Amino acid sequence: MSRRSRATTKPDLADAAYTRLAHAIATGEIAAGAALNERDVSLRLGMSRTPLRAALHRLALEGLVVAVPKKGTYAAPLDARDIEDNMAVREALEIEMAQQVIDAGAEVDPAPLHELLEAQQHAIDHLDSPAFLRADEQFHLHILAASGNRRALEVAQHAWLHINRARYLVPMTVATMREALQSHRAIAAALLDRDSTRLQRAIRDHTDAPLIRQLRSNDAEPDAGNAQRRAAQLQSALRQEPLTRTPTQ
């Protein structure tokens, strides 16, 4: 392999490692605080340590892992304040980009929105919380993508990585999924109708209200120990009965 070939391959491997690890951390496959041994992770990903280290450096810059000198690298602890900050970023971006779509008079294809709404209904029918969460995220990112603002989409995708760390802690109940789907339908209808006031209200009313209420109920002490306690409280408060089908559902 030529030097030029090797040079173009390494960034691809680093990107692949970043994508895989970011997803695993965001969805809880790699738990908060878990050690990331370079040798073990590189073997699991099927690559050398060089692209893995590049990926870990990028994850550290984005706050998803922490490197402790002479100890190792760990998945970052769950921080309730950070999650709420990223929720605020996501909401502001979505409102602004949706408004730009309306102001620009851009054509919005209803088919992808309806497909994502159908995917959410399918997840509810099959009691599939992870599938609902994936379709939920794709729905919101699709609205951002419609604006054509690539940078806004990248920032939102980063925010979702942090938000998902709380969302994937426990399964959603059927009632919570149904409530979210109803909100998504309201957002889609307002966007397709080009109704700015209704659209902004629908987005603000929707954004993970139960999660935000719990985050705001915690103390705002700055010490690291309290951040960990807030995260534990968040996980406990969000824990609901597992998805089960009842005669009324």
Residue 68 is inside which H or E element, if any? Answer: strand 65-68
Q: For residues 115 and 100, give the distance between their C-alpha atoms in angstroms, rounded to a whole number.
A: 23
Give yes or no for residue 173 having a pLDDT over 80. yes
- Predicted local distance difference test score (pLDDT) of residue 100: 94
Kindly give the residue spans of alpha helices, DSSP state H, lying in the chain.
3-26, 38-45, 49-61, 80-104, 110-125, 129-145, 150-167, 174-193, 196-206, 209-216, 224-238
Rg, the chain, Cα only: 20
Q: For residues 85 and 91, give the distance between their C-alpha atoms in angstroms, rounded to a whole number.
A: 10
- Predicted local distance difference test score (pLDDT) of residue 10: 56
Domain ranges of the chain: 3-75, 80-238
- Predicted local distance difference test score (pLDDT) of residue 155: 96
Burial (Cβ within 10 Å: 0-12, 13-18, ≥19) of residue 238: middle
For the chain, the straight-line distance linking the first and the last C-alpha, in angstroms and rounded, comes to 59
- Predicted local distance difference test score (pLDDT) of residue 54: 95
Model confidence at 179, pLDDT cuts 50, 70, 90, reads very high
The pTM for the full model equals 0.78
- Predicted local distance difference test score (pLDDT) of residue 195: 95
Tokens of 106: 């851009």
Give yes or no for residue 246 having a pLDDT over 80. no
Other Cβ atoms less than 10 A from the Cβ of 93: the count is 21
- The mean per-residue pLDDT over the stretch 93-104 comes to 94
Q: For residues 164 and 208, give the distance between their C-alpha atoms in angstroms, rounded to a whole number.
A: 11
- 3-75 and 80-238 have identical folds: no
Apex 237 CA angle, 235 and 239, nearest 5: 70
- Predicted local distance difference test score (pLDDT) of residue 217: 55
Of 63, 57, 64, whose CA–CA distance to 38 is shortest?
Answer: 57
The amino acid at 116: L
Model confidence at 216, pLDDT cuts 50, 70, 90, reads low
Q: For residues 113 and 146, give the distance between their C-alpha atoms in angstroms, rounded to a whole number.
A: 11
Give 4 or 154, the one with higher predicted confidence: 154
Give 236 or 29, the one with higher predicted confidence: 29
Q: For residues 43 and 50, give the distance between their C-alpha atoms in angstroms, rounded to a whole number.
A: 12
Give yes or no for residue 22 having a pLDDT over 50. yes
CA trace torsion 144, 146, 149, 152 (10° rounding): 0
The CATH number for 3-75, chosen from 3.40.50.261, 1.10.10.10, 3.30.300.10, 3.30.2450.30, is 1.10.10.10
- The mean per-residue pLDDT over the stretch 26-40 comes to 94
CATH superfamily of 80-238: GntR ligand-binding domain-like (1.20.120.530)
Instruction: Report whether 219 contacts 226 (CB < 8 A).
Output: yes
Model confidence at 248, pLDDT cuts 50, 70, 90, reads very low
- Predicted local distance difference test score (pLDDT) of residue 36: 95
